[in-house]
Amino acid sequence: MLLEYYNELEQNMTVVKTLLLLVLGASLLPLLPDSLISIPDQLALIINAAAILCILAVFMIVHRNPSEPPIEITNMDASSIQLQGDMTLHSIADAVISTDLNGCIWYMNPVAERLTDLNIQSVRSRPVNHVIPIENARGETHLIPFEKVVESGEMLAADTDLVLLSGDKRLSINYSLSPIRDNSDAIIGCALVFQDVSRLRKLTQLLAYQATHDEVTGLINRREFERNLKQLIDGNDKEHVLCFMEVDQLALVSDTCGHAAAGRLVKQVASLVKTKIREGDILACLDGGCYALLLYDCRVDYARKLTTGFIELTHDYRFREGNKIFEPSLSIGLVSLSSRTTDRVEAINHADLACHIARDKGGNQVYVFHESDDVSQKRQGELDWAKLITQAYSEKRFLLYAQQIAPVNTDGKKPSHYEILLRMVDDDNNIVTPSKYIHAAERYNLMADLDRWVLMTAFPMISESLTDKPAVQKDQDRAVFAINLSGQSIGDVRMREFTEALLAKYPLLASCLVFEITETAAIANLSEAVTFIETFRRAGVRFSLDDFGSGLSSFSYLKNLNVDYLKIDGEFIRNMACDPVDYALVSSMNYIGHVMGLQTIAECVENEDIHNRLVELGINYGQGNWLAEPVPLETILSVEDIDAQATRSTSSLT
C-alpha cells in the first residue's frame, strides 16, 4: 500500500513540477525585452498555459486508466475532486472548450458559452467548426485544425487576425489548441483556449493609426508619406510630381488666435484640397501644418493646373475664429519625379525649396523647381552649405568658442557668465560663424547633430575645469555657461534622453549650465519646449529665452515658459541709443522680465552709448564684441581663476 501511494504521489508530482515551472517561467517573462515577447503576448502565454494545465489536471483525475489501482482518498472523494476541477475551469477568464479527437465538443466553460452565445447542452458532441463560425481578416471561413494537432501532438497558436461571429457581434479573438493526453500519454482530445481581444486589437489599430496619421487633419503623417515616396522612387518608371504646400496665414492665425485655431485652419484647408485631388493620389500633413501631395503618373503641366485650382479654391474661402476673419492662401512648390530620380531626400528638399520660394515671392502662387533658374540656384547654395556642414562634422572641423556675458552694473561680485559658441573651420582653414550656415542646418535638419556635438565636447571640458578649481566649487560662485539648443533638439526625445545621460555622467555641471532656446523655436514647439524646460529644471539647469521680442506674441507665450533669463533681441538693442521706439521696447521688455523675476540680457552691445542706456534701464547683463570678443573655450577654462578674469574684463566699464 505504501509503495502504491508513493508511485501515485510521484506520478502526480509531474503536474506539480509542471506548475512550478509555469510559475517560474511567468515570473521571468517580464525580464525579457519587449522586442522578443511583447507584454500582451506574455500575458496570453501565461493565461493559455494555465488554462491548459487546469484541463490536463482535470482529465488526469477524472479519466484515469481503469487497470490502475484506485487512489486511496481520505479527506475527499472523487466527485469532490472533479467538482474542484470544474470550479477551476469556471473561474478562468478565458474561453475553454475541450473536444474529442474529431473536434466534437465535450465541455465548455461559462466564458466560452458567453462569448459564443451557445450553451453546452445544445452543442455537446457537435463539431466546433460547425457551431462556432470564425473568419480571417479577408472574411474567409477559418477552420480550427484539430486533425493537425492530433497528428503532430504539439500545441498550435493562431497566427492571424481572427473574428468570432457570435449572434450579431463580431469579436476579435486569439486562440491556442493543444492535445489532451491520458496517463499513458495517449492523445484523447483537444483543449481549445481563446480570448476576446477586441479591445486590445482596437487599441493596437488605434496606435498604428496614430503612428501613421496626423492627429489634427487625419491625413497620413511625414513618416508614412516618406515611406510611400520611397516605394514610388524605388520602382519608378513613369513621371510623377511631388508637391509641397503651406498656408500663408498660418503663423498669423497661430499668433493672434492660438495654436488650436491654427490647427482648425490646417484641417479645413486640407478638406478643401481633398475635394480636388484624384483617386489614388496621396495627401499628407507634415510638421508645422505643411502639406505634401504625391501625384501619380502626372506631368508637371497638369500638376501646375491642378494646384492652381487649389489656390483658386481658397479665394472664396474665409476662416472665422471668434470675431476675426482671415483670407487664407497657399504657397505651393512642385518638383518632377522622373525615372532618373533616385534620392528621396533630395526630392523632398527640392519640393520644400520650391514651396519656400513661392512663399518668399509673396505667396498665393505655384512655383516649379528647376535646377537651372537663379532662385533655385540660390537656394541650392543652402543645400551646398548643408553638405559642407556634414563634411566638417565627419572630419571634426568644429570648434567651441566662448563670449563673456558681462554684468551691466558692476557693483558687487557676480559669477562670471559665458555663452558657448560654435565655429566651423572651412577647407581653407578659415573660421566660419554660424550666421553663414545656420539656416542651411535648420532647413536640412542638421541642428540636433550639431547640438549633440556641442554638449559632448563642452561637458567634459567644463567639468574638468570645475574639478581643478576649488575656488569656484560653491554653486553660488561657479561660472555660468550658456549653451544654445535648437528647436529640432527641443522636440527630439532622443536628444532629451542623451542630455539626461550626459548630466548624470557629469553631475557637477547642472548648477552652472544655462540652456538657451530662441523664442521662435520655443513658440514653434511650445509643448515640447515646456516639457524640455521642466525636465532639466528639475535637474538644476537654468534656461534663457533667446532673441526675445522677435515674435508677435512674446509676452503671451512668456507666461508658459519657466525660464530664468530673457535675452533681448539685438535688433532692438543696436539702435536703442538713437531710436526712441527701440528704447521704449527694450524698456518694456526689461520691465516685464523683472516683474516676472527674471534677469535680462541685452545682445549686440557694440558701443558705450548702448551700454549707458542699458545702465539707465537697469538691465542685468550685456553681451557684444565691445564688451568682450569671443575666444576659444579652452582659453577661458585655462585661466586659473575664472571670476578674476571676469573682474578684469569688466573693470574698464566702471
Q: Using one digit for the tens of pLDDT, what is the confidence trace for 384-409?
A: 888 899 999 999 999 999 999 999 98
d(CA 363, CA 369): 15
633 and 523 fall within a common domain? yes
359 and 255 fall within a common domain? yes
Range of the domain at 306: 219-370
Inter-CA distances, 263 with 257, 289, 315, 330, Å: 11, 8, 20, 15
271 and 406 fall within a common domain? no
Instruction: Specify the DSSP class assigned to residue 218.
Output: -
Among all chains, which residue has been given the C-alpha cell 501532438? 153
Around 515, how many Cα atoms within 13 Å sit in the side-chain half-sphere? 31
Boundary of a domain, candidates 204, 231, 257: 204
Looking at residue 471, what is its pLDDT?
A: 44
Q: Which residues of the chain have pLDDT under 70?
A: 1-91, 159, 374, 377, 411-414, 468-477, 551-556, 639-654
537 and 573 fall within a common domain? yes
231 and 192 fall within a common domain? no
328 and 411 fall within a common domain? no
308 and 253 fall within a common domain? yes
Looking at residue 468, what is its pLDDT?
A: 65
* CATH code of the domain covering residue 229: 3.30.70.270
Looking at residue 155, what is its pLDDT?
A: 93
Looking at residue 37, what is its pLDDT?
A: 52
DSSP 114-163: HHHT--HHHHTTSBHHHHS-EEETTS-B----HHHHHHH-S-EE--S-EE
Q: Using one digit for the tens of pLDDT, what is the confidence trace for 220-265?
A: 999 999 999 998 888 777 899 999 999 998 988 988 899 899 999 9
Report residue 361 as a C-alpha cell: 515671392
Residue (of 285, 306, 307, 282) closest to 296 by Cα position:
282
d(CA 304, CA 288): 24
Report residue 379 as a C-alpha cell: 537656394
Report residue 277 as a C-alpha cell: 485631388
Mean pLDDT, all residues of the chain: 83
Report residue 437 as a C-alpha cell: 550656415
Quick check: 175 and 193 in contact, CB under 8 A?
A: yes
Looking at residue 644, what is its pLDDT?
A: 47
Quick check: 50 and 91 in contact, CB under 8 A?
A: no
Cβ neighbours of residue 516 closer than 8 Å, sequence gap 6 or more: 419, 482, 483, 484, 485, 543, 544, 545, 546, 567
Among all chains, which residue has been given the C-alpha cell 511625414? 222
Looking at residue 39, what is its pLDDT?
A: 47
What type of residue sits at position 104? Answer: C
d(CA 616, CA 596): 20
* CATH code of the domain covering residue 96: 3.30.450.20
Indicate the helix (H) or strand (E) that contains 273.
helix 259-274
What type of residue sits at position 556? Answer: S
d(CA 565, CA 232): 49
Quick check: 145 and 120 in contact, CB under 8 A?
A: no
27 and 167 fall within a common domain? yes
253 and 157 fall within a common domain? no
Instruction: Tell me whether residue 212 is in a domain.
Output: no
247 and 125 fall within a common domain? no
Looking at residue 81, what is its pLDDT?
A: 46
Cβ neighbours of residue 419 closer than 8 Å, sequence gap 6 or more: 402, 403, 405, 481, 482, 483, 484, 516, 623
Looking at residue 483, what is its pLDDT?
A: 97
Instruction: Tell me whether residue 492 is in a domain.
Output: yes
Cβ neighbours of residue 352 closer than 8 Å, sequence gap 6 or more: 244, 290, 333, 443
Instruction: Tell me whether residue 396 is in a domain.
Output: no
Instruction: Tell me whether residue 465 is in a domain.
Output: yes
Looking at residue 346, what is its pLDDT?
A: 85
Share of the chain above pLDDT 90, in %: 52
d(CA 433, CA 423): 5
Q: How many CB atoms lie within 10 A of CB 37?
A: 14
DSSP 44-78: HHHHHHHHHHHHHHHHHHHS--TTSPPPP-SSS-H
Structural domain count of the chain: 3
544 and 427 fall within a common domain? yes
241 and 193 fall within a common domain? no
Instruction: Tell me whether residue 376 is in a domain.
Output: no
Instruction: Tell me whether residue 247 is in a domain.
Output: yes
CA dihedral for 366, 372, 374, 376, sign (positive or negative): positive
Report residue 551 as a C-alpha cell: 515674435
d(CA 203, CA 208): 8
Looking at residue 69, what is its pLDDT?
A: 53
Instruction: Tell me whether residue 254 is in a domain.
Output: yes
